Structure 1
Amino acid sequence: MNFSTTRLIITPFTENHADDFLDFYNKELVMKFIGKGCFNWTKEQLLLKISKLFTNELFGVHTIQLVESNEIIGEFSVFKIADETDKVEIGYIINDKHWNKGYATELIQGFLASLKKQNTIKTITARANVENNVSVHICKSLGFILTDEKVVNDKTQITLEYYFY
């Protein structure tokens, strides 16, 4: 999936992006709310993880790049949800060097706008560690609604959903 916003370009991950991804995958501060909080990735582990997630142009891992410099500042992922045909899950990771600049909000707004044009996806799901106040706030401010809360990997995870209806 390719789309852009005023300041961001979103394109599918390629192996050439691995070193840029490892820059933020290997930071405890950045990864503490992602999965089990692993922050000691090798290039091989990263490439294996990403290869398992790619299924087509929409589903998989994408780079978040700055328009002005082409610098890769993070990852944007779109996941298929089991047998759902009109529902996807999203996730993002932004390098801490680029926090507090509004990029996550702009990213999700751009994704929502690009999906509205396609008119096939009706629900977007986002999961977040309940302690990740910034991501939870961003989703809620964009119209996502809290739909579930459960413990995963000894951490409380909430599910938020956005509906196009």
Structure 2
Amino acid sequence: MSGGRASHGKWSPEEGACANVIVHRLVDQGLDPERELFVISPFRDVVAVLRRSLCQVVPRDRVGTVHTTQGKEADVVLLVLGAGGDMAGPRAWAASAPNLLDVAVSRARRRLFVVGDHDAWRGHRHFDVLARQLPCVSESGQAAVRALAPAHGCRCGGHRTP
């Protein structure tokens, strides 16, 4: 995802909405969030909002910081970066060593989704490699992501965006 300029602290409502769509779409396709999914972020405040916004779909213990999932794996990992726009300090902290990104990426057995401000993160060490390796959905591509959003009657029983 590109953009994410309307962030509040390290949380980005746009990233949250995108994460919500991805999670609901995966559940609608048969993914069991209790066994097959981790939703992670480098930042606790991002995790706090994700837990509230995904509470009807993803169990609390499946949403956490990169560090809380260390040593655990899931078939699918959704990494929500946060700290978009002008939040250079938190991004620099997250990129200061390869460990954080390595732990995040290595949690995924099969699929990894990364939601974040591509333009903001791609200039940081280690994240530059990630940015080159994964396809990017630009702001103009957000309509395509939203088009994948489940109907109100999705299997998970709820579709909320923060």
TM-score after normalising by structure 1: 0.36
**Which structure shows the higher helix fraction?**
2
TM-score by length of structure 2 reads 0.37
